[in-house]
Structure 1
């Protein structure tokens, strides 16, 4: 299915209307949870990291750890968790319901490719929205980290700002965006595959949704915890 999807992306016609509807849907259900999840994640990171820096007498480097953690790790991970939990599950349930109602078979009878009409717009929507949400997570995370470090832990604002680019540069931001796009692509592909291959009636749809979340969770956990993750990313 993944190969068919890649081929269908560059094959005309492209379902622009379905793509825009799915992108708006995923963004609408994911934006607020992403922001609300990014704040405690980044605050926990900064709080824990700053405790160590204060003990070492290097609290002025708090911005360095915040930038590196938010850009390289928390941005893509928080994004894919929300996209998987909100958008991907909805995609899987929608396609699963269409499958058990034999709507996909009806499309094939009419000469319409379900991959091109239904799967491609959803996969691209998940990819685009995940990329955009990652940028929002980074901005929200850095803003929250600054507020917490300066107003709660009394770090000098100028020192925090100066440390942001100490070890984190443009290349790290690009890698983070690419990582988020790949996570979104994986979420869309897994959700669509589980949706169009569902079986067992309505109960099978629920099982497919649970399997989608489980697979995405395992994927993110494996990528984050593997020993060679910094070099691999």
Structure 2
């Protein structure tokens, strides 16, 4: 009679779990290298400045190009909904809270992962297939400390700055659309913002942007350093990096919003 054996674990399920654990270990290694480099006075400031300026140049215009149409759509949808429920006086507060708590950090994160993150992944992947990473490891140079940590710090700085820029232009767009197309008094629009918006909403937005930036940098660096099979492997690593970042960023946004809503109270963050 045939012997029935237990089914083998599905590779399709085991591989994502193993890769997630590997990224967690890599993130811990990055944080440890960052703390060690700062404490030991070895932090590569020049490399961090170069990466910060590069991320600002490549991310600012795409982020603004997305924030303005997003603000237009948001203003129209919130305005229509406010008129239907008879809460036109709270249109400004609704638009502002949606931008500060959700839209601004999400737009910033998507631009960083799609533009700066893919550039980091491609750069590190190219270094890997050219065996530059192997040469650094043979010479005993700390790869994570020299290459990953300054890029992560640069992405965090750019995320916080870019989040403020996106927030300003998106709120300005919602204000313009509400005043011009929906005939709302600008004074009433701005006055409603102070009724619901608080300083904690701004801190929530900046915290989200910083956390999203760390996720973006860690995932992009992990995928780039793991690139194989020549230029084709680098392209696959970049694609995998962007897709993984998008999934993790939306998951992190949901988790942070739920935690904020639970402990801070009020509407979901």
Shift of 1:225: 5.7
Query: How far, CA to CA, are the matches of 1:223 and 1:110 in structure 2?
Result: 37
Any idea what the Cα deviations from partners look like across 1:102-152, whole Å, max 9, x if unmatched?
101111222211111100011111111111111111111111111110011
Answer yes or no: is the 8 Å Cα contact 1:92–1:192 preserved in 2: yes
Show the 5 A alignment for 1:1-233.
Answer: 1-10=26-35, 11=37, 12=40, 13-224=42-253, 228=258, 231=261
Q: What are the ranges of 5 or more consecutive residues in structure 1 without an aligned counterpart?
A: none
Local SS of the residue matching 2:33: helix
Larger RCO (CA within 8 A; separation ≥ 6):
1
Relative distance call for 1:220 and 1:4 in structure 2 (3 A) is closer
Contact 2:208 2:253 in 1 (8 A): no
Distance across 2 between alignment mates of 1:230 and 1:35:
27
TM-score using structure 2 length: 0.83
Q: Where does the alignment leave 5 or more consecutive residues of structure 2 unmatched?
A: 1-25, 263-268
Q: Which one has a bigger Cα radius of gyration?
A: 2
RMSD of aligned alpha carbons: 1.6
Residue 60 of structure 1 deviates from its aligned partner by 2.2
Q: Quick one: distance in 1 between partners of 2:225 and 2:194?
A: 45
Shift of 1:164: 1.2
Q: How many residues align?
A: 233
